[in-house]
Amino acid sequence: MALRIIFLFLLTVHNGICFENFKPNIAIIGGGIGGASCSHFLTELFNNNLNIDLYEAKTIGGRLATVEVDNNEFEAGGSIIHPQNKYMQEFVKLLGLEHRPSTDQIASIWNGDEIVFEESRWELLSLSKLIYRYGIQPFSLNRHVASIVSSFENIYHLQDTGNAYTNISSLLSAMNIKFPQLLETSIKTELLNLGYSEKVIDEIVKTSLVVNYGQDTNVHSFVGFVSLAGVGSHLWSVKGGNKKVPEHLIYRNKYVNVVPSRVIKIVNIPTNSSRSLYEVHYHNEDSKIIMKAMYDVVILATPLTHDQPYPITFEGFPKNDFYNLEKYHETIATFVEGDLKPHYFGLQEELDVILSCDPNKTIISSLGRLNSVEGTMKNSKVWKVFSNEPLNSATVNDMFTNVQKMKQVAWKAYPEYSTRADEAQFKLHNALYHVNAIEWTASAMEMSAIGGRNVALLVHKDFSKKFCCTEDVQKVTPSSEL
């Protein structure tokens, strides 16, 4: 933290000279955690000397959302945060929010035929059962994942000292020179090469991927290790809902103007100087009248894949198609208020959490008893079921009895991971950036915050080169005069 304060102080002094006659006009498209964190870090870096218009077509928070069941709110999107997620921890403290620790729940692994592993309320018994089925490899795997996390944490020091990266390979290499190789090897191949058994990989590792990403062990190794890191203890969420973090980062920032509209086109406007100008075309849902606004910088904080509901057209760029040829994975979250039928899962009594290691056979990816975002419920009868396809009422009634309510939420949750993805770029054009490029390494709240800060650092660095190192900086027309 001390390093960041010193770094920001030096930038403040520098910015006072560089930007006193030029206030950058910035558009951020997307109001999820990536766009929100980017707006926060930009405001720090430019010492409040900027204008930000943040466009959001739907709801601030993006994939961080809640759903109401029987007058209680429950997490519908990203629901858990790792204790070592530095930025999420700092945001919660900065915004005066509170932690909601995860509750102790008894989990099991189900393959569709039987429960292959079941925790006990007694920790020693759980450890004994773990060793009996898998030997000591889970402990070795845990140490290996911890070493990956340790290298990953290098990014915080790197960003505190002002380092920024134009693509995901350079960002990963800065953390650990071997990390980019993890994008080219599946997690199953990586772990087999390290000597782990098929049973450990096909049950423990696969379960974590099915639960966290709805995918199999053919995903690349980096996201596989991120998924395993999310299985640890002391996980938490934000009291009142994780969506409060992007909401507060945006609405408490007086330099951010929220534009509740859909962006449909971005046009690159040629200039006779080093300055970039982009024209953003947008409209809101109530009026289809196309409006336009001019910006020095445009930041995309939304996925660039063809399967997204609000595609953006690019015009006037050397390359007008910035879209990734891959796609995002659709996950269905079904909220059920009722009583679990243990016998359906081969159980004698009700458990809190049932995790699938074979969703093709089990139909579901996971099932868990929920606590409200306020953490006030005891003996909750509300369950969240993740699946890759919508559940019909017959399937729900097979799993539950006394069903009072059922709600389904479908969302493009995270990328479809493989070992073949093209290099994702944070910088798309002179002053056009993409926060969500980081999701092709792994999708998580902290990853989006890291991506947001990386783009903010890139913007600041590029802007400084253009307007702090030229003799004609005084001649540049402020964006407010456009």
Distance from CA of residue 199 to its chain's centroid? 29
Q: How confident is the model at residue 215 (pLDDT cuts 50, 70, 90)?
A: very high
Q: Are 46 and 24 in contact (CB under 8 A)?
A: yes
Q: What pLDDT, on the 0 to 100 scale, is given for residue 375?
A: 86
* Rounded average pLDDT over 467-480: 40
Q: How far apart are CA 312 and CA 323, in angstroms?
A: 9
- Render pLDDT for 290-307 as a digit per residue (tens, 0 to 9): 999 999 999 999 999 999
Q: Is the pTM of this model over 0.85?
A: yes
Q: How confident is the model at residue 103 (pLDDT cuts 50, 70, 90)?
A: confident
Residue 10: pLDDT over 70: no
Q: What pLDDT, on the 0 to 100 scale, is given for residue 158?
A: 98
Q: What pLDDT, on the 0 to 100 scale, is given for residue 79?
A: 86
Higher pLDDT, 140 or 465: 140
Q: What pLDDT, on the 0 to 100 scale, is given for residue 324?
A: 86
Higher pLDDT, 70 or 415: 415
Q: How confident is the model at residue 231 (pLDDT cuts 50, 70, 90)?
A: confident
Q: How confident is the model at residue 288 (pLDDT cuts 50, 70, 90)?
A: confident
Q: What pLDDT, on the 0 to 100 scale, is given for residue 19?
A: 53
Q: What pLDDT, on the 0 to 100 scale, is given for residue 21?
A: 61
Q: What pLDDT, on the 0 to 100 scale, is given for residue 475?
A: 30
Q: How confident is the model at residue 421 (pLDDT cuts 50, 70, 90)?
A: confident
Average pLDDT along the chain: 90
* Rounded average pLDDT over 375-384: 86
Pair of tokens at residue 32: 């999820």
Q: What pLDDT, on the 0 to 100 scale, is given for residue 303?
A: 96
Q: What pLDDT, on the 0 to 100 scale, is given for residue 116?
A: 96
Q: What pLDDT, on the 0 to 100 scale, is given for residue 18?
A: 56
Q: What pLDDT, on the 0 to 100 scale, is given for residue 476?
A: 29
Residue 323: pLDDT over 80: yes
- Render pLDDT for 345-364 as a digit per residue (tens, 0 to 9): 999 888 899 999 999 999 99
* Rounded average pLDDT over 19-45: 92
Distances (CA, A) of 352 to 103, 118, 137, 355, 371: 10, 11, 26, 10, 11
Q: How far apart are CA 195 and CA 68, in angstroms?
A: 46
Q: What pLDDT, on the 0 to 100 scale, is given for residue 20?
A: 55
